[in-house]
Structure 1
């Protein structure tokens, strides 16, 4: 892929690495490539970060044909740049785009684009503990016109953001509100895709959770309001007695890259992992009796987020004394150790940016 480069005339002052937050700062440049029916994908370029001109009738604004991804770049102890399983993000975006009837960027082009922009902006990769460069690819419809049909043109963009911890709590337990009024997704819908509409649908419940003093929302299935699915922006796992239980991938749950990695590690360590329907009643009963030993969310942004409390219909259960569990911490240390190049990558998950 030939990539043209337009360098920004003025470069930004880089933020304090010890006070990055998440998604607050963006690098000097972004990657862009366009698609239309006649040319396919064309005009790959790295350009200064800035506004994207858009006609008021641009179809993404009216019919939400949009998908996105999230991955990170890390500095290992030798100063090399590592990506973590970028091919999985590429494949997930392909599947998301298929469902939304959008042009699909081939896996090799996705990975090449990510490597190109990360390498060009490598001075933005932070080196302070627990920091990384967050990578946000997004595809959206660019055809101007009012009428519900697949657009005839699209744009794929990658922006970059140096980040610290996703949650203000850091790697400490969070309080979770179990949502039984609103639903996020149903089987046959777009729950398995990473599209903006899923997240827009989640905001009302997130606001309600925060008003009640909770950090995130635990979603139940959209049909029965009974079975546990996801936690906000993350997949979720529960250690019940000696078994780790998580929702199966049946169309309403996002196939997380971190989820897949954690399941792989758990099985490698000899843990029993069940991907199945888990009712909220079974989960709360496990919390009451102490069978629920640990719980955590998994996702690229937060990596692993320990869960210390669940609230469902006014009842609260505390998990592991509201402390990070031994297994949760071990999983976090192992996965981040691989991602930052501090531990051996025996799974061959990391990709060196040359």
Structure 2
């Protein structure tokens, strides 16, 4: 990996459960966090990764990933909310057309597609460097990593020798691989939209007591539309609005909403979005208009940092016609009156 490759911008992508991860190159500044990633995994995970439960192996792996750039080596990491959750790397030997690959994922985050997403990006990088084959040695009992390689959609061969197995992965791009990647992407997109379109709890932030205000109209649509799940208002000056319980802040809500609808002044949108992210909100609908370029960039950065899906700003809203989410014949909706749609921002699998 060269200094130029390390300076390439990060990519935001969706994991299998619909949450957002940042994929980027490893830098020397990541040494401490990468060491912590290995230190916090179980001895069993270390054994599966290094064939021995040795913390020394973990230290050497962190040193290797953060070493000065050298040809034929690349390391990518995955982060969520500033925390490192996975690392994938490859290194070529004398045969520059073949590279050995390894993957490590934080304990408790398996089966979310972290390793698969990292390997997908490594495959693309390897092809640009003329690498046509990945190889990997694993313990035959390491079913998770063997399944990861088998499910990539690439042609994979296994050679068993005692307790170990050597995997050979052909990187030739074909329709089968492209179709598999596309299928994974669609599934991640659908999962990411669940908190936006089928939320179990909604909070309207900026719901006012004044008739005609946008926040009050949004709350009215949801309440009158018969939304069947938990509905909250956020207003520090009221305990109840239109019969809906009101709380002073998102952090003071009795439960974490899947979706927060923001109808607050443009200047405080990034601040409220940050509060939502820290509270665990998974999607934002921002109807507020008038954000300047800096405020819009700050809003998008907050959503990416906390893995929240975003619709808006300056949008008309969303509407769900599924009767399961409404007690009345009319669908519940979160939409303002007299507003026009400017744009929707949603995070694709790779951006």
The TM-score with structure 2 as length reference comes to: 0.24
Larger CA Rg, structure 1 vs 2: 2
The TM-score with structure 1 as length reference comes to: 0.24
* More strand by percentage: 1
**Higher relative contact order at CA 8 Å, sep ≥6: structure 1 or structure 2?**
1
